[in-house]
């Protein structure tokens, strides 16, 4: 767990994911291009297996942690996409995934973990979830696969950028949402290895703008009660992701809740795709014609498409 995230780990992850993860398409839109008088490339990880990029990191981590063919157990805390991703990755690699889900969580996420063959341990809150995880690690000797603060997970997420760079040449700017920073750390490591001049921006909701402050203060800041529909972005950075982001990021762009809903609606109306609030956070800056994007070739990671219909309906309401 103390290894650094290297470019060669990402290429190794890409090799293991070949034929297992989807090579997700890049969509373009003349309307988006027009807004910034540049070119926008949407990396559609909402089309990834389990509906989010998380599958990449989970699969690579599980395949590294447990020798092929051995039985074993992996465990994590997740009420979101990582839990589903770990459940599927474990199932494909023949090990058991135990997913501790602190309430509140959506029924669809719960059912998805079960459908992918995982076991769910429901807990009342985050603190009891930590206790439940400790017990699994001690009693069942399960191996912990943290959702983002894990070098292997970060390397797996980095394959998004490896793929994108093969699909689109000469990006000037890259936008991706930041929650714990696992995806963004992987993007940074790969992005600057191949394109040293790439400007990478993190995007986060106003109601959970801990990453911006954490980077400024160089310490992990927690927002006491994150207030955002972007459930994947309520978490804080980790000890492994903060230093990577500090070293690589050009800046952090924050967006309002209405902008998140408007971006989901734009994706529905114009792009004909379903994106979850956390993914919409990285599209919103284009819609408000963020000045740093003007005239640029901009890559945007649409991180996932898992959104309960009651939330999606909000984005469809007129006036959003």
Asked if 57 and 182 touch (Cβ cutoff 8 Å), the reply is yes
Distance CA 288, CA 258 (A): 12
148 binds a second copy (CB under 8 A): no
Helix (H, G, I), strand (E, B) or coil at 184: helix
Catalytic annotation present for 209 = no
Element (H, E) at 207: none
Q: Which two tokens stand for residue 80?
A: 């979101």
- Number of other CB atoms surrounding residue 144 within 10 Å: 17
Question: Pick from 46, 76, 149, 235: which binds a second copy (CB under 8 A)?
Answer: 46
Question: Pick from 32, 36, 47, 278: which binds a second copy (CB under 8 A)?
Answer: 47
Question: Pick from 8, 70, 197, 309: which binds a second copy (CB under 8 A)?
Answer: 309
272 binds a second copy (CB under 8 A): yes
Catalytic annotation present for 79 = yes
Distance CA 182, CA 144 (A): 16
Report which DSSP code applies to 281: T
Distance CA 106, CA 315 (A): 18
Nearer to a second copy, 49 or 152 (CB): 49
Helix (H, G, I), strand (E, B) or coil at 204: strand
Question: Pick from 145, 274, 280, 298: which binds a second copy (CB under 8 A)?
Answer: 274
Q: How far is the CB of 311 from a second copy (least distance, A)?
A: 11
The catalytic residue among 54, 109, 209, 236 is 54
Tally of residues, the chain: 320
305 binds a second copy (CB under 8 A): yes
Q: How far is the CB of 308 from a second copy (least distance, A)?
A: 10
Question: Pick from 93, 195, 271, 283: which binds a second copy (CB under 8 A)?
Answer: 271
Q: Which two tokens stand for residue 67?
A: 């020798």
Nearer to a second copy, 96 or 311 (CB): 311
> DSSP string spanning 25-39?
-EE--HHHHHHHTSE
Nearer to a second copy, 28 or 127 (CB): 28
Interacting residues with a second copy between 229 and 268 (CB under 8 A): 268
The span of 27-35, 177-185, 223-231, 285-293 binding a second copy (CB under 8 A) equals 27-35
Asked if 231 and 199 touch (Cβ cutoff 8 Å), the reply is no
Pairing of strands 26-27, 39-44: antiparallel
- Which residues are marked as active site? 54, 79
Contact set with a second copy (CB under 8 A): 22, 25, 27-28, 30, 44, 46-47, 49, 51, 108, 268-275, 305, 309, 312-313, 316-318
């Amino acid at each position: 767990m103390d290894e650094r995230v290297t470019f060669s780990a990402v290429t190794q992850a890409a090799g293991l994911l070949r034929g297992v993860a989807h090579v997700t398409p890049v969509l373009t839109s003349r309307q988006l291009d027009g807004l910034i008088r540049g070119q926008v490339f949407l990396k559609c990880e909402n089309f990834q297996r389990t509906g989010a990029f998380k599958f990449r990191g989970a699969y690579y981590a599980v395949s590294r942690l447990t020798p092929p063919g051995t039985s074993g157990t992996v465990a994590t805390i997740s009420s979101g996409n990582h839990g589903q991703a770990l459940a599927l990755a474990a199932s494909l690699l023949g090990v058991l995934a135990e997913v501790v889900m602190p309430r509140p969580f959506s029924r669809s996420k719960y059912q998805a973990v079960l459908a992918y063959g995982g076991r769910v341990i429901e807990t009342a809150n985050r603190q009891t979830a930590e206790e439940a995880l400790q017990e699994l690690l001690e009693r069942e000797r399960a191996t912990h696969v943290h959702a983002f603060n894990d070098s292997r997970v970060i390397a797996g997420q980095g394959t998004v950028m490896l793929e994108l760079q093969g699909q689109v040449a000469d990006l000037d700017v890259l936008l991706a949402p930041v929650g714990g920073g696992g995806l963004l750390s992987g993007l940074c490591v790969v992005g600057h290895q191949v394109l040293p001049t790439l400007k990478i921006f993190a995007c986060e909701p106003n109601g959970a703008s801990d990453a911006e402050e954490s980077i400024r203060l160089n310490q992990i800041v927690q927002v006491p009660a994150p207030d955002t529909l972007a459930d994947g972005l309520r978490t804080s950075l980790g000890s492994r992701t903060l230093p990577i982001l500090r070293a690589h990021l050009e800046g952090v762009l924050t967006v309002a809740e209405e902008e998140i809903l408007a971006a989901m609606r734009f994706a529905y109306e114009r792009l004909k795709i379903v994106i979850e609030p956390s993914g919409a956070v990285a599209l919103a800056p284009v819609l408000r014609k963020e000045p740093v994007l003007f005239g640029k070739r901009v890559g945007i990671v649409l991180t996932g498409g898992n959104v309960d219909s009651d939330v999606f309906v909000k984005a469809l309401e007129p006036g959003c």
